[in-house]
Amino acid sequence: MTDRESPDVERPLTGGVAADVVSARLAYVDSHCHTEDDEAFDRARAAGVAAFVVVGCDLASSQRAVALADTHADVYATVGLHPHEARHLDREWDELVDLVAAPKVVGIGEAGFDLYYEHSEIEDQARAFARQIGLAHERDLALVIHSRDAWDATVECLEREGVPRRTIFHCFSGGPREAERALALGCSLSYSGIVSFKTADDLRAAAAMTPIDRLLCETDAPYLAPVPKRGKPNEPGFLPYVVAALAAARSEPIELVASATVTNAISAFGLGPV
């Protein structure tokens, strides 16, 4: 027993997950995670996470996301091809399109450009992104964008193909200038644990200028655990830390940011009641 756990202090109900920022009154929606582990979902529920958008990166992970959504009332799925996997477009496209018809598929992606790693050629990334933008239009689904070191390519492709009605920059990592560009296109910005990192002043400035009705939050678990869990495998139960950091960057109460991000996630993805 440590000196922070005396017998007459009530133990947190969360199993330690984000216990210090969890309030029983708050609910959260994790707008983007890659979690498949039931115990991690349970810990997140205990921390107040009321719904999860599990995001596909290729055919296999999209199929697993759809299967999770089938069996868990609070899990929703997206179907997509990550820019890393864009070279598999022709092989996987038909089955990806079929999968989009499954119940509780709420978005296309993650799709876009990653010119930091460039695991697929830029031409393949462009083709896969354009195709997925078209699919989001056709099915009137949310488009989940992954854009790393690729602002110009991402914006050009969006402008060329037309911006779907509900488009989300996942793990938004730009500064105020990039935020302005994305907002001018009508997009929402989803903030991850990066907003809690010491060096992320530019991102916090972007968070501060994002209109509250365009604000989403996510863990991107298992990546990018927020402070104070940085360096550990991330999980949706750490979402309250992300929201706390986002609220601090905006100088707003945590309650306000939590409830706005829930409302915005419901409308951006067309989720059922949470």
DSSP 238: G
Q: Rounded to whole angstroms, how far apart are CA atoms 141 and 8?
A: 50
- Kindly identify the residues of this chain, within the stretch 190-209, that bind Zn ion according to CB under 5 A: none
CA 113 to chain centre: 16
Task: In angstroms, give the least distance from the CB of 171 to Zn ion.
Answer: 7
| Residue number, 131 or 146, with CB nearest to Zn ion | 146
Stretch binding Zn ion (CB under 5 A), from 20-28, 120-128, 159-167, 213-221? 213-221
Would you tell me how many other CB atoms lie within 10 Å of the CB of residue 159?
10
| Residue number, 65 or 246, with CB nearest to Zn ion | 65
- Kindly identify the residues of this chain, within the stretch 220-249, that bind Zn ion according to CB under 5 A: 220
Task: In angstroms, give the least distance from the CB of 220 to Zn ion.
Answer: 5
Residue 11, phi then psi, degrees to nearest 5: -70, 145
The answer to whether 217 and 244 have CB atoms below 8 angstroms apart is no
89-99 and 59-71 helices cross at what angle (nearest 10)? 20
Least Cα distance to 146 among 134, 161, 128, 121 occurs for 128
| Residue number, 58 or 124, with CB nearest to Zn ion | 58
Task: In angstroms, give the least distance from the CB of 193 to Zn ion.
Answer: 12
- Helix count and strand count (H, E) for the chain: 9, 8
- Kindly identify the residues of this chain, within the stretch 3-62, that bind Zn ion according to CB under 5 A: none
Stretch binding Zn ion (CB under 5 A), from 88-96, 191-199, 212-220, 252-260? 212-220
- Kindly identify the residues of this chain, within the stretch 58-97, that bind Zn ion according to CB under 5 A: none
| Residue number, 58 or 220, with CB nearest to Zn ion | 220
Residues 91-120, one symbol each (x = binds Zn ion by CB under 5 A, - = not), give ------------------------------
| Residue number, 84 or 181, with CB nearest to Zn ion | 84
Q: Rounded to whole angstroms, how far apart are CA atoms 208 and 217?
A: 14
Task: In angstroms, give the least distance from the CB of 10 to Zn ion.
Answer: 36
Task: In angstroms, give the least distance from the CB of 82 to Zn ion.
Answer: 7
Task: In angstroms, give the least distance from the CB of 4 to Zn ion.
Answer: 34
Q: Is 71 exposed, middle or buried (0-12, 13-18, 19+ CB in 10 A)?
A: exposed
Stretch binding Zn ion (CB under 5 A), from 123-131, 179-187, 219-227, 231-239? 219-227
What six digits make up the tokens of 36? 């498949």
3-state helix, strand, coil in the chain (%, to 5): 45, 15, 40
Using CB under 5 A, list all residues that contact Zn ion: 220
